[in-house]
Amino acid sequence: MLRFFKARFIKDSSLRSKQAAFKNLMSLHTLLPVILFIILLPHLTSASVFILAYIISILLWFTLHTLGIIPLPGKFIRFILVLIALLILVMNYGFLFSQKASLSLLSIMVCLKLMEIQNELDRRNIFLIFFLGYFILITHFLHSQDIILSLFVLTNIIILTLMLSAFNRKPQTSLPLYDSFYLIGRLFVKALPIAIILFLFFPRIPGPLWSLPEDGQSSSTGLSDKMYPGSVSNLVDSNKIAFRVDFQGPPPPADKLYWRGPVLNETDGFLWSQQKPQALTSQISEKDLTGLIKNRGKAVSYTVTLEPHQQKWLFALEMPSRVQGTTIKGFYLSTDFQLLNKTNIYQLTQYQVTSSTQFILNQVSKNELQSALKFPQASNPRTYKLGKTWQQSLSSKQEIVSAGLNYYKNMPFYYTKKPDTMLDNPSDEFLFDKKRGFCEHYASSFVLLMRAAGVPARVVTGYQGIEKNEVGDYYVVRQSNAHAWAEVWLGNDAFSKKGWVRVDPTAMIPPERIEADIFQTNLERLSFSSLNIPDLPRLSAQQKTSLYNFYKQLKQSIDNLKHSWNNWILGYDQTKQNLLLKLMGFSANWQTLIFLLIGSMAGLFILFQIIYFFRLYQQTDKVYQYYLKFIHKLNHAGLSVQLNEGPEAVKHQAIKQFPEHKIIILSIIDHYIQIRYASQKNKDLIMQFITQVKQFKPLHKR
């Protein structure tokens, strides 16, 4: 087989140099599968085993080929390989076109391209591999945009470019390959400012240009549109950041920090869910919601940087009155006052909100009130009974709500992260037997009680509280801040105009009945679990505190870096661009941008020139510089003077070619030799030399 291959190869390449060239290039070709593997790595980690195996075996095949062990497949085997690839893709993704499927297809395609490389002169295939490599690198940003990945992608772009330049160095040439590393370094040093200028001033058109197929496969994180006993307390252990907040001014007090999320209306007594939200407002990108929410009290403005959660909720402090954001498209407020994006949030999203923490929500439809009264038949009978007794004995809704809250306060209810499992009639079990639960137990049982007593009520989930980052002066809301509370309808009539009122039954539990692990902050929990410190018995309490503080500081610094990254790099959009223009004292429109773009590019090139001339000035002394100018003039006039020729030789050549300039040539060379070999510096001589070189204007001769 090998012999056959060799014979064929020699036949193919009529010239021996070609064969030698291919051998020399082997090292570059051996590197190709390696770099491809690195480029594909982030995709491969999430790809299925079959795809992984397929890609690795193709890459191995090519590596073995470059080592001269096995030949590349012929046309027929390549065709079979393509069929296998298609089979694997269909097995994994079906016939559905999704982002993930197309990325897998792309990954397989680039590997199969390797199989088609004929020889080192095969520019078409090799360039295609490089270009696909660039493209695949960039698709990584669709999944994650963190700093580490960005560095990874940037490094790989540099390596790819280096390899591309190595490929353009033909092997016949004599200088070593690493010789051109410096050149590629320069290429990047010069390309980077161009990229930065374009990044800052290129007009940002708010997308999307075309609608994207949504990926059903990626799983959501955080709160969802379903709630059941244990669903929220599962989140609490997660230290993941849900969103970061920059407040303009001080944040509101802790008891106002309710970040509204999914509102749950439907229940079967165990599971809470919601109907398809109806839009209350029309879909416009910048909204003033003050008309809908009768706000009182001071407004608070802030920017939310929401981590992608693959769902539609945009979290905001209750209640938002004004929302603005360029990356969110067509968001709206639903009839139950959820702030929703039209599409799922797959990327880091930033939006500005103004909220009033005191508000009245007294708009509601009849349907809504009716569904907020539905008590699931044949579930939680004891809850129903208790509610009914309150309805009979108490006159107003207000009194019923108070009775409900007092029930939690007076009975021995405990607030715990690890309640017992409650499967059938969880509300009954919680209210009358276990009496130990997390916020979802409190909220759902309270809402059921209220509904039984004839008070329209619903469950609201979201986040509660904030955690300050001391380093960056911003706030963090984590998954562990997930919370569930209740909302009751106190009417919009002659007796009461309060409308929907937030009631948090967990707030009724006195501190002594809250279990310690809830108080423990996330950082404290983390510092001992992830640092893996086994109690550190030898350290004193003070040392422990300082160690903890150091750890906290470090953690916050890292998060601050991430936040700045999110804010200024990932969140750089039209709004930030306009802000930058205003800061620079320009009016924010696209004409300014074009002007700035062209202006700064021109400035950049002038800067490059200045640096070039500065280095030129540094590197050469003036006399030599003018001597070179003299030689350059001669060469431009048709001589071919080499640098390694001495001044005397130059003189003879020049006089021979330009006898009419004999006197000045003689004088210039004479001066040069005198200046060069004189023991003392003679300024007059130097000045004369320079003026003579300046005056020397030989006519061009063929």
Partner 1 sequence: MDISVKLQNWLLKRVSHKDSALLTSKSIYILPTKEGIIYAVLVILILSAAINFNNSLIFFCAFLMAGIGIISMHMTQQNLLNLQFSIAHVTPVFCCQNISLPLVISQSAADSIQRKNNSAKYSIAIQFSHQQALNPSQSSDIFLQKLTDVRYGEQTLLPLSSPTTQRGPFELPPLTISTLYPLGLFRAWTNIQLNNDAVIYPRPSKKFNHVPQSGSNSEGQGAKGRGFDDFSGFKSYQPGESLKHIHWKAYAREQGLLSKTFSGGNNHEYWLDWNELSGDIERRLSQLCRLIIDAEDQGDRYGLIIPGSTINISQGQLHQHQCLKALALYQVY
Query: Where in 630-649 is the site for partner 1 (CB under 8 A)?
Result: 631-632, 635-636, 638-644
Residues 105-144 that bind partner 1 (CB under 8 A): 123, 127, 131, 134-135, 137-138, 141-142
The span of 61-69, 206-214, 358-366, 376-384 binding partner 1 (CB under 8 A) equals 206-214
**According to the 3-state scheme, what is the secondary structure of 316-375?**
EECCEEEEECCCCCCCEEECCCCEECCCCCCCCEEEEEEEEEEEEECCCCHHHHHHCCCC
CB-nearer residue toward partner 1: 185 or 381: 185
Residues 333-372 that bind partner 1 (CB under 8 A): 347
The helix or strand, by DSSP H or E, that contains position 567, with its residue range, turns out to be none
Find the shortest distance in angstroms from Cβ 194 to partner 1.
3
Residues 42-101 that bind partner 1 (CB under 8 A): none
Q: For residue 305, which of 245, 256, 247 has the smallest C-alpha distance?
A: 245
Q: For residue 551, which of 570, 577, 528 has the smallest C-alpha distance?
A: 528
Find the shortest distance in angstroms from Cβ 106 to partner 1.
12
**According to the 3-state scheme, what is the secondary structure of 577-618?**
HHHHHHHCCCCCCHHHHHHHHHHHHHHHHHHHHHHHHHHHHH
Per-residue x/- track, 269-308, partner 1 (CB under 8 A)? ----------------------------------------
Find the shortest distance in angstroms from Cβ 264 to partner 1.
31
Tally Cβ neighbours within 10 Å of residue 192. Answer: 11
Find the shortest distance in angstroms from Cβ 138 to partner 1.
5
DSSP string, 401-432: HHHHHHHHHHTT-EE-SSPPP--SSHHHIIII
Contacts of 205 (CB under 8 A, 6+ apart): none
Our measurement of the distance from residue 316's CA atom to the centroid of its chain's CA atoms, rounded to an integer in Å, reads 22
The span of 205-213, 267-275, 388-396, 521-529 binding partner 1 (CB under 8 A) equals 205-213
Residues 662-691 that bind partner 1 (CB under 8 A): none
The span of 161-169, 273-281, 434-442, 497-505 binding partner 1 (CB under 8 A) equals 161-169
Q: Does 610 contact partner 1 by CB under 8 A?
A: no
The span of 66-74, 168-176, 555-563, 588-596 binding partner 1 (CB under 8 A) equals 168-176
Expressed in angstroms, the distance from the first to the final Cα of the chain is 61
Find the shortest distance in angstroms from Cβ 124 to partner 1.
8
Q: Give the CA diameter of the chain.
A: 126
Q: Does 172 contact partner 1 by CB under 8 A?
A: yes
Q: Does 614 contact partner 1 by CB under 8 A?
A: no
Q: Does 206 contact partner 1 by CB under 8 A?
A: yes
Contacts of 119 (CB under 8 A, 6+ apart): 12, 13, 18, 22
Residues 548-587 that bind partner 1 (CB under 8 A): 569-573
Q: Please state, in angstroms and rounded to a whole number, the distance separating the CA atoms of residues 543 and 113.
A: 60
Q: Does 148 contact partner 1 by CB under 8 A?
A: no
SS3 of residue 227 by DSSP: strand
Find the shortest distance in angstroms from Cβ 612 to partner 1.
8
Q: Please state, in angstroms and rounded to a whole number, the distance separating the CA atoms of residues 360 and 491.
A: 11
Find the shortest distance in angstroms from Cβ 490 to partner 1.
42
The span of 34-42, 177-185, 221-229, 379-387 binding partner 1 (CB under 8 A) equals 177-185
Contacts of 40 (CB under 8 A, 6+ apart): 55, 107, 110, 111, 136
Q: Please state, in angstroms and rounded to a whole number, the distance separating the CA atoms of residues 418 and 436.
A: 9
Find the shortest distance in angstroms from Cβ 14 to partner 1.
9
Instruction: Give the residue, chosen from 273, 301, 363, 625, that forms a contact with partner 1 under the rule CB under 8 A.
Output: 625
CB 317 within 8 A of CB 300: yes
CB-nearer residue toward partner 1: 19 or 180: 180
